[in-house]
Amino acid sequence: MIIVMKAESTKKDIDHVLDSVEKAGLKGVLLQGTNRNVIAIIGDERVVPKDFWDVLPGVEKSVPILAPYKLASKEGKDFKTIIHFNNGKKIGGDHIAVIAGPCAIESKEQIIEIAKRVRDAGATALRGGAFKPRSNPYTFQGLKEEGLVHLARAREVSGLPIVTEVLTPEHVKLVSKYSDILQIGTRNMQNFLLLRAVGESGKPVILKRGMSATIEEFLLAAEYILAQNNPNVILCERGIRTFETHTRFTLSLSIVPQLKEMTHLPIIVDPSHGTGKRSLINPMSKGSIAVGADGLLIETHPEPEKSFVDGPQTITLESFDELMQELKPVAEAVGRKI
């Protein structure tokens, strides 16, 4: 942290800042310029919030040097996080992970059929919602625990790891019992008690970006999970709210290379929620891989028009097969495998 003093600041102001730095257990070094005085703080500046310094008498501004999300940040770390599953599948590294399945689990037969088909097409994991976060309370809310039981059966049959959403801290234990990866939905990205609870569960977590969250807020949300000693966080871009109404959300693909500069965590893209349109899933999936995404989350269903939830953005199992074939050369072109 660098603290820039106002031109008119007094010796008393400077001494007060230096004193506060020392009280925080840090070291302050005064750099006297011709017009301005600057105080450099040595030590982990993140123990004190930035606005603490900004309001001290005589301070013009403070400039942080370290990212506030210290565990999520790439700073000082020379590794990339890779999440490994028992069956040899992984998320992160050279392989592109493709997680596919219906928005919601509708029946045992439905999820088992989808599991087998997406596995045969080369998917890494199976997704399916049992607890659904719906904007409208009168719509289908998911099969809840019954859905989790079907999902566990689909895992047994297909051998695929499973991903499902958890909505509340009270459900973390139950959902963890069945699922290999917990999903935090966009509407819960800043549900801090839930973030702590999934952190404590020790399960890998797919953290979806809040639809209005900045990149810094997104990484700070990941930090909540990492801070519980859970290193297995996968970031997921799923579209943000903008003025545009042609697509359901605006898929912000520039976040992928931007996050790669900032964090060691894997980042996947969900073009299904990001566009809301079946016809855009194939091109946006290719685009996601081209810009460096570590994986995709794709809604698939045998008969999307009969899907209980999110039919318009869901692709058929045949389209999923084709997509997987078409993604191969794109992955190869950017030095990855699928």
Query: Residue 63 Cβ, how far from ligand PEP at the closest point, in Å?
Result: 35
Exactly one of 71, 103, 114, 251 binds ligand PEP (CB under 6 A); that residue is 103
Exactly one of 49, 133, 202, 329 binds ligand PEP (CB under 6 A); that residue is 133
The two three-digit tokens of residue 306, written as one number: 């009969």
CA distance 119 to 261: 32
Question: What does 185 interact with, of ligand PEP, Mn ion, none (CB < 5 to 8 A by kind)?
Answer: ligand PEP
When asked if residue 129 is in the footprint of ligand PEP (CB under 6 A), the reply is yes
CB 240 within 8 A of CB 212: yes
For residue 8, the one-letter residue type is E
CA distance 265 to 74: 9
Query: Residue 38 Cβ, how far from ligand PEP at the closest point, in Å?
Result: 44
Query: Residue-wise over 164-178: b if at least 16 C-beta within 10 A, else e?
Result: bbbbebebbeebbeb
Contacts for 290 with CB less than 8 Å, ≥ 6 apart: 330, 333, 334
Question: What does 133 interact with, of Mn ion, ligand PEP, none (CB < 5 to 8 A by kind)?
Answer: ligand PEP
In the bound state with Mn ion, the residue whose beta carbon lies nearer, of 103 and 262, is: 103
Query: Binding string to ligand PEP for residues 167 to 186, with x set by CB under 6 A, is what?
Result: ------------------xx
In the bound state with ligand PEP, the residue whose beta carbon lies nearer, of 133 and 257, is: 133
In the bound state with ligand PEP, the residue whose beta carbon lies nearer, of 53 and 308, is: 308
Pairing of strands 83-84, 90-91: antiparallel
- In the chain, where do the E strands start and end? 2-5, 27-32, 37-42, 59-63, 83-84, 90-91, 97-101, 125-127, 162-165, 181-184, 205-208, 233-237, 267-269, 295-299
When asked if residue 310 is in the footprint of Mn ion (CB under 5 A), the reply is yes
Question: What does 186 interact with, of ligand PEP, Mn ion, none (CB < 5 to 8 A by kind)?
Answer: ligand PEP
When asked if residue 273 is in the footprint of ligand PEP (CB under 6 A), the reply is yes
In the bound state with ligand PEP, the residue whose beta carbon lies nearer, of 71 and 163, is: 163
When asked if residue 212 is in the footprint of ligand PEP (CB under 6 A), the reply is no
From residue 134, give the alpha-carbon distance in Å to each of 33, 141, 185.
Answer: 58, 7, 11
Question: What does 266 interact with, of Mn ion, ligand PEP, none (CB < 5 to 8 A by kind)?
Answer: none
Exactly one of 90, 119, 171, 208 binds ligand PEP (CB under 6 A); that residue is 208
Query: Residue 249 Cβ, how far from ligand PEP at the closest point, in Å?
Result: 8
Picking from 179, 249, 245, the residue whose alpha carbon sits closest to that of residue 209 is 249
CA distance 300 to 318: 9
When asked if residue 238 is in the footprint of ligand PEP (CB under 6 A), the reply is yes
When asked if residue 241 is in the footprint of ligand PEP (CB under 6 A), the reply is no
By CB under 6 A, name the binding residues for ligand PEP.
103, 129, 133, 185-186, 208, 238, 273
By CB under 5 A, name the binding residues for Mn ion.
103, 310
